Amino acid sequence: MREKMKAKRFFDIWLLLAGFCIALVVIIGLWYVLSEKLPENVGRELTGEELNEVIAANSPLIEYAYLSSNADFPRKNKIDRITIHHMAGITSLEKIGDLFAQRDRQASANYAIDINGKVGCYVEEKNRAWTSSNGENDNRAVTIEVSNDKIGDDWHVSEASICALVELCADICRRNNIEKLEFTGDTNGNLTIHSMFSDKTECPGPYLKSRLPDIAEAVNRKLSE
Ligand SMILES: [Zn+2]
């Protein structure tokens, strides 16, 4: 009898081990399949031809692109809003590309605008960027990071960046059939900001926040032209 119990216990341990091994294989397999799902053009320098493809599929205003793997491919929802951020720093398009390329940062944006008004693309519009601490918003929004031209105080932004932001927003609206951009100061409008979704951030800073009603108005003027 004791021998039988011993044999059963031995069998149970092997069964447990076999179960563990199968689970491990399934997890590794899933991880492999999911990591294989990353598009081929993320996390590396693009060729000139690939850059042209990114420009053609997104905004013609793009002058630089370095696609980040920090994104969901593809986004879940149709684009019906735009979300504005500031960089909390004076950051070049290349530098922000380096930051978004870091996997452990878990951050990205669809676009960034530098101090001179140049536009960079990091997550194509068809994909969801990790920008606003809110998946529901980012699945619907095109997110834009704007460089500051002064550090601290009201986190000022250059007029060249504001002009580029208006152009980029108008272009996004046209291509995604958004008829009007509305800044209501809350999430009811389709022009949203990071601090609406997280009380841990003041992003996009007092200066850019104060300009949002004007920015929406300027975009709408362009859309009605
Ligand atoms: Zn932000």
Q: Give every CB contact of residue 76 below 8 A, 6+ residues apart in sequence.
A: 128, 139
Q: What are phi and psi of 57, to 5 degrees?
A: -90, -10
How far apart, in Å, do the first and last CA atoms of the chain sit? 91
Distance CA 100, CA 92 (A): 12
DSSP 91-114: --HHHHHHHHH-GGG----SEEE-
- In the predicted model, is pLDDT for residue 36 greater than 60? no
Q: Give every CB contact of residue 93 below 8 A, 6+ residues apart in sequence.
A: 63, 64, 112, 114, 118, 119, 120
Confidence at 28, pLDDT banded by 50, 70, 90: confident
Quote the ligand 1 centre to 185 CA distance (angstroms): 16
Distance CA 64, CA 133 (A): 25
Q: Check residue 181 and give its pLDDT.
A: 98
Instruction: Tell how strand 111-113 and strand 81-86 pair up.
Output: unpaired
- In the predicted model, is pLDDT for residue 124 greater than 90? yes
Quote the ligand 1 centre to 132 CA distance (angstroms): 6
Quote the ligand 1 centre to 196 CA distance (angstroms): 10
- Please list all protein residues whose beta carbon sits less than 5 angstroms from ligand 1, which is an ion: 85, 194, 203
Confidence at 2, pLDDT banded by 50, 70, 90: low
Distance CA 126, CA 109 (A): 12
Quote the ligand 1 centre to 143 CA distance (angstroms): 9
- Helices then strands (H, E): number in the chain? 6, 8
- In the predicted model, is pLDDT for residue 6 greater than 80? no
- In the predicted model, is pLDDT for residue 203 greater than 70? yes
Quote the ligand 1 centre to 40 CA distance (angstroms): 27
- In the predicted model, is pLDDT for residue 32 greater than 90? no
Quote the ligand 1 centre to 211 CA distance (angstroms): 16
Q: Check residue 141 and give its pLDDT.
A: 98
Confidence at 8, pLDDT banded by 50, 70, 90: confident
Phi-psi region of 43 (alpha: psi -120 to 50; beta: other; left: phi over 0): left
Alpha-helix residue ranges (DSSP H) falling in the chain: 2-36, 48-57, 93-101, 135-138, 159-175, 205-224
- In the predicted model, is pLDDT for residue 153 greater than 90? yes
Quote the ligand 1 centre to 29 CA distance (angstroms): 35
Q: Give every CB contact of residue 173 below 8 A, 6+ residues apart in sequence.
A: 82, 179, 180, 181, 219, 223
Confidence at 11, pLDDT banded by 50, 70, 90: confident
Q: Which of 14-28, 35-49, 181-195 has the highest mean pLDDT?
A: 181-195
Name the token pair of 154: 């009201």
